[in-house]
Amino acid sequence: MSLINDNLQDLLIHYCEPESQLLQQIDRETNLKVLMPRMLSGHYQGRVLSMLSKMVAPKRILEIGTFTGYATLCLAEGLTQDGIIYTLDINVELEDMVRKHFAQSKHHNQINYILGDATKTIHDLDETFDIVFIDADKKNNGTYYDLIFDQVRPGGIIIVDNVLWSGKVLQDQQDKDTRNITDFNDKIAADERVEKLILPVRDGLFVIRKK
């Protein structure tokens, strides 16, 4: 999924902050026990998410797509002392693993882990968000974006993962999944309510700032 070669990836990791022991443990366990472990954000992308969160110093974060909790904990590193991260996921089979990971984190009291269909559970959140991270089923990127947009404060950011789709967005003939990604990217490009750029980090992070 990375768009750069392994040697350059190793160099980037060399010059960024190290992973915590807990994040290393989550990475190992995910690769050993979970289908499609490549969905995990990983060291470098995790440090990017952590840095963006620390720069914003959010009181409220919403994450759509928990997986095994790696990105959740990276984002939580920037929370204010009274901050909360809500993380939504539909995969009940990973619940025990995820709750174990969160329980080991110093941010465990700041994490609200909610299972269910995010298109429904979002409606239960009466919050204004400083950061939203969308990393769930890609066909619903536009749906999630529309559902949460009014709950993002002016100046807040929305981050969407996998928007370069292993480079397939460059292809003239696109399969259905790639077309969904391209349509979402075009939707954001045309949205005058936001400022936006794509960071070529791992599989592409769309960073979107609400005006």
Q: Given this model, what pLDDT does residue 123 score?
A: 94
* Per-residue pLDDT tens digits for 44-82: 999 999 999 999 999 999 999 999 999 999 999 999 999
Q: Given this model, what pLDDT does residue 4 score?
A: 80
Q: Given this model, what pLDDT does residue 5 score?
A: 85
Arch. (CATH architecture) of 6-210: 3-Layer(aba) Sandwich (3.40)
Phi, psi of 137 (to 5 degrees): -70, 120
Q: Given this model, what pLDDT does residue 178 score?
A: 95
Phi, psi of 60 (to 5 degrees): -135, 125
Question: What pTM did the predictor assign?
Answer: 0.96
What's the average pLDDT block by block, 10 residues per block, for the chain (211 residues)? 82 96 98 94 97 98 98 98 98 97 98 97 97 96 98 98 94 94 97 97 96 98
Q: Where are the domains of the chain?
A: 6-210
Task: Find all residues with CB under 8 Å of 93, minimum gap 6, and list them.
Answer: none
11 half-sphere exposure, CB direction, 13 A CA radius? 5
Beta-strand runs (E) in 48-199? 60-64, 84-89, 111-115, 129-134, 152-161, 194-199
